[in-house]
Chain A
Amino acid sequence: MTTVSSLASRKGRNVELGLLVFAVAIVALAYINVGVAVEGAIPPSLVAVGSGFVIITAVFHLVMRWRAPYADPLILPIATLLNGLGLVMINRLDLANGRDLAEGMALRQLMWSAIAAALAIAALIILRDHRILRRYTYLAGALGFGLLLLPLVPGLGVENYGSRIWIAVGPFSFQPGEVAKIVLAIFFAGYLVQTRDALSVADRRILGLTLPRGRDLGPILVAWMLSVGVLVLEKDLGSSLLFFGLFVAMLYVATERTSWVAIGMLLFCVGCYIANMIFSHVQRRVLLWLDTFSREALDTSDQLARGIMGMASGGMFGTGLGRGRPDLTYFAESDFIIPSFGEEIGLIGLFALLLLYVLLIERGLRTAIGARDGFGKLLASGLAFSVALQCFVVVGGVTRVIPLTGLTMPFLSQGGSSLLANWTLVALLLRISDHARRPVPDPAAPNPVASNQTQVVRLR
């Protein structure tokens, strides 16, 4: 916990700038590629969309130089690249569906990207030290649980396509679960830093596992009940898995007790098993997952089948951007954006995309290792792991590793709430990494104050 790693004190801002230029160039090329493939010409919207994208990136980078000069240089370029590629695919689907720029989703996505980036920038400027967040541990807890359960409020929550994870206020709709993910990570980090000593007290050993004391089971049981509640009441396995997995992972990091993981997984499996026995909507999801191409499943929904056939048609190298038919799958721009990419950039492109996420998560975990305080370690690892878990739930859902759920792919998927939440997450990671990589004042270096003669007060 008190490990102080002397990481490279190079700031890395120039590396970041180079990578950002690279990321923007890839996005611009992809955008042009789509235009040429679909309409046979360089799209006129390139100037508008491109300059908007460049401005957001440039401002963010300048703020980084100003407010977080030591932050990890890879995180921002990766997020920028993913966000930009998402824009490209959403624009591509606009074209396929005959929507022009004004009525299309791409411009709105760009707008939300700007707002999300602005929020992240604001967070970087206002939040000078992530440890301040620890003061708001319990406020964050209340807020997180509130957000998670918000869609259940009558009149506020809306049920979309079988899952009740949206709230609608007037013309705006929002997925509070996305924001809850971050707020809850703050809460878990603050809470576990306080209680980790108690929670890691060993009790008995059974089957080689050191079990915790019975009375310490409280928190995990509460988290479990909440996640089962989300699964049953909001009918969303994704949010439930994300939330509970995040808690168990952070509990494990805090206590270093494998037994917590075992208990957590056991509880989750029990919860899923019971839910599958009792609730028809869960059974339907399981049917679609295990027997996607059966007559019965196709009559229920052929969305998953269509997505998979889209990916298959892409094959190893893909059809090329703008040359496939991702628009044949419903929600090709949000939940099913990964099959859309799989179809058009192929297995190879999809691998590259997934590796970008791996890299982002790895930088997050590295930040956690480098962090000098327990709260920072827990928060960074929690945030990074939540991205990993969400990617797994989304990609695993559309490729039949797990049942399909209604989560969005971080940065790629169309949707404002997802962008806001994930850019804020990036801002927090950047803040922690800035702190982690900031050089520690060298005690051996001559310090003008220290080298002064100290007044010695003699006590009699």
Chain B
Amino acid sequence: MNSPIRRLSFVVALLFASLLVSTTLIQFVFAKELNARPDNRRTLLSTYARERGQILVGDTAIAKSVPADNQYKWLRTYPQGTDYEHITGYYSFYGAGGGLEQAENGLLSGSSDKLAFRRVSDFFTGRQTTGASLELTVNAAVQQAAIKALDGRKGAAVALNPSTGEILAMVSNPGYDPNALSGHDLSKVDAAYKKLTNDKDRPLVNRTIGGDLYPPGSTFKIVTAAAALSSGKFQPDSVLPGPAVLDLPQTTTGLPNHGRSPCGPDDTTTLLHAMEISCNTAFGYLGMEIGADALREQAAKFGVGDQISIPMRVTPSSVPAKLNLPQLAQSAVGQYDVRVTPLQVAMLSAGVANHGIVMKPYLVKSVLSSDLSVIERAQPEQLSEAVTPEVAAQLTEMMEAVVQSGSGQPAQIDGVRVAGKTGTAETDRVARAHAWFTGFAPANDPQIAVAVVVENGGDPNSEARGGGAVAGPIAKAMLEAGLKK
């Protein structure tokens, strides 16, 4: 009977080997996956029990955890309320949502691999592990100026430092109060969340980098002009046809100017002047001259189509892959199916301002440990070279003319050379067009580039009364705030 007993012990070994495998699979191989499950209450409780890192603008915390006298131990608060919600996002029972709370959850909660060494030292010193804090690139003055100037109107505003890609301001209207979502009263949080998700204006969406995106309108003429100048076939003083309505091949409808008046005497104009007054017919012609591929390539060089994380994921802007000639003419003036984020439009100006080099935009300047020592510092990164320095200079000159004497005059600042471009993007659905302005200042030494869009804020019949009048002053306020030392 001894040999079957020995074989039985082999069976026992097999049984237990299977248990060692199954426990290893759960506690080691798939542990990370299981812990990341949204319905994992342990993870939720343990992340709530740990002090989450702060989000800082300058020395001010725009998101911080304060001790709470209940089982969750910490309450996430946003002292500035509705000023930074699209940057911070919110931290709720549903997990971290939107903004940096979600995008940098690992760092803020302290679970990121970048903090592994710290956790080990916490383990041995018995120190309570806390999340890392994020110091932002945001300039509070620019952010406040944008909020004040937008004055609650639906739309978005972004400001960039052209030479680094630092995001100086990021405002999206309508917004929400993240404190309403981060509370510990589940039924209240639930009600607030339902209300926000059911709102047809979608206040949870950060319009500067996502949502449905916008048609860029005439701000896209920067791209068309860049492509034309880069081709070598056109100069700022090149004479272009500028009728009231441009005849388009293959179709009976033409491409009209805003206000349906010609752009110059004898229905002709120069590239410089066309830019200045935002002449649709001249740019429609230019688009057809340079071709769809050149236009698309130029757009791509400015970052259109790129997957960018700031660290929130930015919805890529797009130029349609197939364009016939009429569609190409329309696209060249930012109509048809061209779709952009306000961040992308700001990158157009920033690229021109930075001598043709587009910097990768980012929000987090440095990652700090709980004792405020720097764990990681962001390095500016070049995204692409959009145009040569020469073309950039020509574009700057043209954009300066827009603000000096063209459609962008409302953005003028005393004693500062401002460069810009207005836009009035018509949408099919509504009578009033989206009002755009993008630009940078000072033109001779760019410090700040902005893009502003006010939804349905513009008069479709006049570029000056559209983008210039509505979005121009907002951009001006932001530029001024950014230049104030």
Contacts and interface: CB of A to CB of B under 8 A. Distances in A.
A195 to B, nearest CB: 14
Contacts of A385: 8, 12
A369 B2 contact: yes
Given A362-B9, A388-B16, A312 B23 contact: no
Interface string A292-336: 010000100010011011111111100000001100100000000
Contacts, number: 131
Contacts of A342: 23, 26-27
A203 to B, nearest CB: 19
A357 to B, nearest CB: 7
B1 interface: yes
Nearest to A348: B27
Contacts of B430: none
Interface stretch (A16-24, A268-276, A394-402): A394-402
Interface in B1-15: 1-6, 8-9, 11-13, 15
Interface string B418-459: 000000000000000000000000000000000000000000
Contacts of A365: 5, 8-9, 12
A32 interface: no
Contact of B4 (A3, A253, A314, A391): A253
Contacts of B39: 298, 302, 305
Contacts of B3: 256
Contact of B18 (A306, A357, A401): A401
A395 B23 contact: yes
A350 interface: yes
A397 to B, nearest CB: 10
Contacts of B33: 312
Contact of B12 (A328, A374, A388, A396): A388
A391 B5 contact: no
B28 A315 contact: yes
B200 interface: no
A361 B8 CA distance: 11
A48 interface: no
A67 to B, nearest CB: 26
A347 interface: yes
Contacts of B2: 3, 369, 377
A350 B16 contact: no
A220 interface: no
A449 to B, nearest CB: 33
B42 A347 contact: no
Contacts of B19: 354, 391-392, 395-396, 399, 401
Interface string B27-52: 11011011101011111011000000
A153 interface: no
A252 B4 contact: yes
A432 B276 CA distance: 103
B24 interface: yes
B28 A347 contact: yes
Contacts of A388: 12, 15-16
A1 B1 contact: yes
Nearest to B14: A392
A315 B31 contact: yes
A298 B37 CA distance: 13
Interface residues of A, number: 52
Interface string A366-393: 0011000010011001001100110110
A351 interface: yes
Nearest to A254: B1
A346 interface: yes
Contacts of B22: 395-396, 399-401
**Interface majority SS on B: helix, strand, loop or mixed?**
helix
A254 B27 CA distance: 39
A358 interface: yes
Nearest to B24: A347
Which one of B3, B5, B25 has the greatest number of beta carbons of chain A within 10 Å? B5
Nearest to A387: B12
Given A312-B27, A342-B23, A328 B42 contact: yes
A249 interface: yes
Which one of A308, A365, A391 has the greatest number of beta carbons of chain B within 10 Å? A308
B27 A392 contact: no
A253 B1 contact: yes
Nearest to A400: B22
B29 to A, nearest CB: 10
Contacts of B321: none
A308 B26 contact: yes
A392 B1 contact: no
A312 B6 contact: no
Given A309-B37, A312-B27, A391 B1 contact: no
Contacts of B40: 309, 313
21 contacts: A253-B4, A253-B5, A254-B1, A298-B39, A309-B40, A311-B23, A313-B42, A313-B43, A315-B28, A325-B41, A325-B45, A342-B23, A346-B27, A361-B9, A362-B12, A374-B1, A378-B1, A385-B12, A399-B19, A400-B22, A401-B18
Interface of B: 1-6, 8-9, 11-13, 15-16, 18-20, 22-28, 30-31, 33-35, 37, 39-43, 45-46
Give 7 nearest A-B pairs by CB, closest first.
A312-B34, A399-B22, A347-B27, A312-B31, A392-B15, A388-B12, A313-B42
